[in-house]
Amino acid sequence: MAFSQETYARAIDMLRDMSLEKKRVYRQKEAELHHKIPELAAIEQQIRALNLKTVSAVFSGEGVADIHKEIKELSAKKSKILKEHEQEEYSPVCSICNDRFLVNGKYCDCVTAAATEIALKELYATVGAQNYGFENFDISYYPENCRGGMQKLYDFCKDYADSFSGSSKNLLFMGKTGLGKTHLSVAIAKQVIKKGYGVKYYSAQNLFTVCEKEHFSYSGQTPQSDEMLTCDLLIIDDLGAEFITSFSKSALYNIVNTRYNMGRPTIINTNFDVDQIEEKYSERIGSRFMGNYTAKLFKGNDVRQLKNQ
Ligand SMILES: [Zn+2]
């Protein structure tokens, strides 16, 4: 259960930049204040000198208590002056890890929070639809005879997201365009990211383009393709809308099969039915889906068209 190393690295970069900026602004204000109140500058200098003295005092074992007492008095004086000039003492961006980003050898909560923010932004950039969530899925757009079924499907998806464990079921969302497959799968992605899991969301077209590019590049690097296989949850949107080639067929089988063998869940949205999947891709992909995926059928009229009316 984790975001990718790249996401964590970006999160730490972001926090480090924030920390440096906060320090820079503080130092600037501090310098102005020292200029205005020479007494404050003198106190700072005394504290620094006493801190150095502490080191040698600790070695000799003499006078440590006196030095500490003196530092305490000077610090109190300093606080009083700062307060009078409405300048607060410096505080780090994160008071838990003191901007070290690690606590007991693990990422601090501030890193997890920043990584979550980055992963969500990445998802929004991919799907270009920030507003897809469980909170704004509107059953009333569906014809009356479909609402009961859609409500059950909605509840199923919400429960899936809430109880996601990294070894959850594989899902196959089937049904025509505009029936909410993308909406509910993005809603699941958001919720699962917020739980701290690494989610990758691709349109089928984009997924195979990336696979092909990395497969035929001479760098030997396949970072995105590797992540497709290993991330906690992979979502492939609109399978069947891509240009189907023998490469994309074998790439799809490889992804589906490898993730199944590793016990990592995948959600696939498609307009195809099982017969079409077997016909367009292969029988073995069709039987993988039938055997190892929970299929959910979306019914109704094109919700997107209705919404635009
Ligand atoms: Zn922290």
206, 252: one domain = yes
Q: What is the DSSP string of 69-109?
A: HHHHHHHHHHHHHHHHTT-PPP--S-TTTTT--EETTEE-H
What is d(CA 1, CA 155) in angstroms, rounded to the nearest whole number? 24
Residue-number span of the structural domain to which 38 is assigned: 17-92
Radius of gyration of the chain (CA): 28
Helices (H), 136-245: 144-162, 181-194, 204-216, 223-230
Ligand 1 centroid to Cα of residue 22, in Å, is 15
Strand partners, 139: none
φ, ψ dihedrals at 296, nearest 5°: -130, 130
Residue 138 is part of a domain; what is its CATH number? 3.40.50.300
Q: Can you list the residues of the chain whose pLDDT is less than 70? A: 1, 129-130, 218-222, 302-309
Ligand 1 centroid to Cα of residue 141, in Å, is 44
231, 281: one domain = yes
Ligand 1 centroid to Cα of residue 107, in Å, is 8
* All residues with CB under 5 Å from ion ligand 1: 94, 96-97, 108, 110
Q: Decide which of 34, 65, 92 is a domain's last residue.
A: 92
Ligand 1 centroid to Cα of residue 9, in Å, is 14
Ligand 1 centroid to Cα of residue 33, in Å, is 29
Tokens standing for 242? 């891509």
Give the model's pLDDT for residue 142. 87
Place of tokens 């409405």: 86
Ligand 1 centroid to Cα of residue 113, in Å, is 9
Ligand 1 centroid to Cα of residue 92, in Å, is 9
Give the model's pLDDT for residue 86. 79
Ligand 1 centroid to Cα of residue 2, in Å, is 17
104-153 residue pLDDT tens: 999 999 999 999 999 999 999 988 866 799 999 988 888 888 899 999 99
Note whether residue 168 is domain-resident: yes
27, 138: one domain = no
Note whether residue 136 is domain-resident: yes
148, 258: one domain = yes
Ligand 1 centroid to Cα of residue 94, in Å, is 5
301, 176: one domain = yes
Give the model's pLDDT for residue 216. 78
What is d(CA 188, CA 132) in angstroms, rounded to the nearest whole number? 10
Note whether residue 288 is domain-resident: yes
151, 279: one domain = yes
What is d(CA 178, CA 90) in angstroms, rounded to the nearest whole number? 53
Note whether residue 115 is domain-resident: no
Give the model's pLDDT for residue 299. 86
85, 176: one domain = no
Note whether residue 58 is domain-resident: yes
Ligand 1 centroid to Cα of residue 103, in Å, is 8
Note whether residue 100 is domain-resident: no
CA proximity to 201, closest of 128, 282, 299, 134: 128
Give the model's pLDDT for residue 228. 92
24, 135: one domain = no
55, 138: one domain = no
88, 35: one domain = yes
Give the model's pLDDT for residue 222. 64
Distances (CA, A) of 193 to 129, 196, 233: 16, 5, 9
Distances (CA, A) of 251 to 58, 78, 142, 211, 276: 65, 65, 35, 7, 18
Ligand 1 centroid to Cα of residue 79, in Å, is 25
Give the model's pLDDT for residue 298. 92
What is d(CA 198, CA 124) in angstroms, rounded to the nearest whole number? 14
Distances (CA, A) of 90 to 19, 30, 70, 95: 11, 10, 21, 11
Ligand 1 centroid to Cα of residue 95, in Å, is 7
Ligand 1 centroid to Cα of residue 91, in Å, is 12
pTM of the model: 0.82
303, 174: one domain = yes
Determine contact, residues 254/288, Cβ cutoff 8 Å: no
56, 156: one domain = no
Note whether residue 303 is domain-resident: yes
Note whether residue 28 is domain-resident: yes
Ligand 1 centroid to Cα of residue 24, in Å, is 19
Q: Decide which of 92, 119, 137 is a domain's last residue.
A: 92
Looking at the structure of the chain, the number of domains it has is 2
Ligand 1 centroid to Cα of residue 18, in Å, is 12
